[in-house]
Amino acid sequence: MSLLEVRAIDAKYGLLQAVRSVSLTIEEGETHALIGANGAGKTTLLRVIAGAHRPAAGTVAFDGVDITRIPAHKRVSLGIALVPEGRRLFPGLSVEENLKVAAGRRGDAAWTVDRVLEIFPMLQSRRTQSASTLSGGEQQATAIGRALMCNPRLLLLDEVSLGLAPKAVAAVYESLRGLIGSGTTVVLVEQDLGRALAVASRVTCMLHGAVVLEGAAATLTRAEITAAYFGVRSSPAVRADS
């Protein structure tokens, strides 16, 4: 059984249809990159999975259970955590306090403040520093760490590299490799093709709200992905290889 199954999702903002009959399957332990240009529908699809946007049609199942109508806060308790675009930290709280805000009550929780700081060593010396004084990369690391404190089975990352300096992007992605190596299931929305392909096991490319290419990252060529990304193909080309 797949960890996440998205079936024929339509999502709208008023009369604007942002996602068009999208289906997606995520296996436990994989890193799935959701790529596409601005306006492709990636963020909306991530919000639908997280429960932050109600779909107009279709279903979302998590670990075999239909969660389409379950609100976002209850999805967190089921094991789904979203790192939204823009980080949205509590600026007056320290790094440690931002992390603890999301901590569960379980004494045997897999993710603790110390473990997050091991994954993101850039934050170790910033532990007591307020979030408002952090660099963009440090803020992004804190936002990801905060989501991990929910001990998710599925981590949704929206635009990890957006607005960051190249050195900060490299540092965040280096830490993400450790996170991925720990077995966490990740869905990553990213416009930087190189970064996405370097960490993903599978790739889905969206264009104008629809899936135009999907497959194992190792079997897709850069030319195929670039063509789908920019809409060069005259018709959808979905690859269903394993």
Which residues in the chain land under pLDDT 70? 104-109, 233-242
Number of C-beta neighbours around residue 184 at 10 A? 22
CB 207 within 8 A of CB 182: no
Alpha carbon distance 33, 199 (integer Å): 8
pLDDT of residue 103: 84
pLDDT of residue 241: 56
pLDDT of residue 211: 97
Domain chopping of the chain, boundaries: 4-229
Q: For the CA atoms of 92, 93, 99, 100, what is the dihedral angle to 10 degrees?
A: -130
Q: For the CA atoms of 217, 218, 223, 229, what is the dihedral angle to 10 degrees?
A: 0
Alpha carbon distance 191, 11 (integer Å): 21
Read off the pLDDT of residues 72-82 as tens digits, 9 standing for 90 and up: 999 999 999 99
Angle at 43 between CA 41 and CA 46, to 5 degrees: 110
CATH 3.40.50.300 for domain 4-229:
yes
pLDDT of residue 183: 85
65 pairs with which residues across the strands?
A: 62
